[in-house]
């Protein structure tokens, strides 16, 4: 597993891709979930009782930053079909959507635009924010293991390594 990880991230290009996913995703998710504020001052803040939500966002961002570059590696370096890219992207998107639509500007815009349908959708995403993020993390974890497995087979790595 480690050798597969090293295989992908020994290439500086993929470290760059990973950082390009991790940093914006973490900053955007922490901002819309109100852990970071930019106005009127730049300040970070973890309210009491919100520590678990913060941890899930960090895990989600780390997993996305690992799984998506590994899949890009498979597609680019091994010229394999894009089919398996879906799990990583899907997991990242649903994880990001959860909690984005609460009482903040995104939820307000959605409800103002779509009325009661928007309100129902945002209420669902807010009410089930934590379970949705856990499901997203599970999808990313499964995608990670299947990617590692297929890389081992496709790159003919020693399965015991």
Partner 1 sequence: MNKKPVIIGVLAISIIAVIAASFSAPSETVNLDMSRTHGTISTAMGSAILGDPSAPITIIEFGDYQCHQCYNWFHNTKPTITRDYIETGKANMIFVDLAFLGRDSPIAAQATYCAEDQDMYWEYHDMLYGAQESQIDNGWANSERLKAFAFSLGLDMELFESCLDSGKYSKRVQYNSQQARENGVRGTPGFFIVGPNGQQEQIGGAQPYPVFKEIMDSMVL
The residues that touch partner 1, with contacts defined as CB under 8 A, are: 34, 37, 39-41, 43, 45, 47-50, 102-105, 107-109, 111-112, 116, 119, 122-123, 126-127
The helices-and-strands tally (H runs, E runs) of the chain is 6, 2
- SS3 percent helix, strand, coil of the chain, rounded to 5, is 75, 0, 20
Q: Please, which residue, 36 or 155, has the CB nearer to partner 1?
A: 36
Q: How far is the CB of 33 from partner 1 (least distance, A)?
A: 9
Residue 44 and residue 35 in contact, taking contact as beta carbons nearer than 8 Å: yes
Q: How far is the CB of 60 from partner 1 (least distance, A)?
A: 19
Q: How far is the CB of 158 from partner 1 (least distance, A)?
A: 48
Q: How far is the CB of 52 from partner 1 (least distance, A)?
A: 12
Longest dimension (CA), the chain: 56
Q: Please, which residue, 48 or 81, has the CB nearer to partner 1?
A: 48
C-alpha of 26 from chain center: 9
Q: Please, which residue, 54 or 90, has the CB nearer to partner 1?
A: 54
- List, as own/partner pairs, every contact residues 37-46 make where C-beta atoms lie below 8 angstroms and the sequence separation is at least 24, other chains included: none
Q: Please, which residue, 53 or 95, has the CB nearer to partner 1?
A: 53
């Amino acid at each position: 597993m480690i050798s597969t990880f090293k295989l992908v991230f020994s290439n500086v290009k993929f470290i760059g891709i990973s950082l390009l996913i991790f940093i914006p995703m973490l900053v955007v998710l922490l901002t819309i979930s109100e852990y970071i504020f930019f106005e009127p001052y730049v300040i970070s803040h973890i309210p009491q009782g919100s520590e678990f939500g913060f941890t899930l966002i960090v895990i989600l961002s780390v997993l996305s930053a690992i799984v998506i570059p590994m899949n890009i590696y498979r597609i680019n370096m091994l010229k394999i079909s894009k089919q398996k890219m879906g799990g990583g992207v899907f997991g990242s998107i649903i994880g990001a959507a959860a909690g984005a639509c609460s009482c903040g500007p995104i939820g307000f815009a959605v409800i103002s635009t779509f009325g009661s349908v928007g309100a129902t959708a945002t209420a669902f995403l807010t009410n089930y924010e934590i379970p949705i993020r856990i499901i997203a993390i599970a999808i990313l974890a499964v995608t990670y293991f299947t990617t590692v497995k297929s890389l081992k087979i496709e790159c003919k790595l020693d399965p015991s390594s």
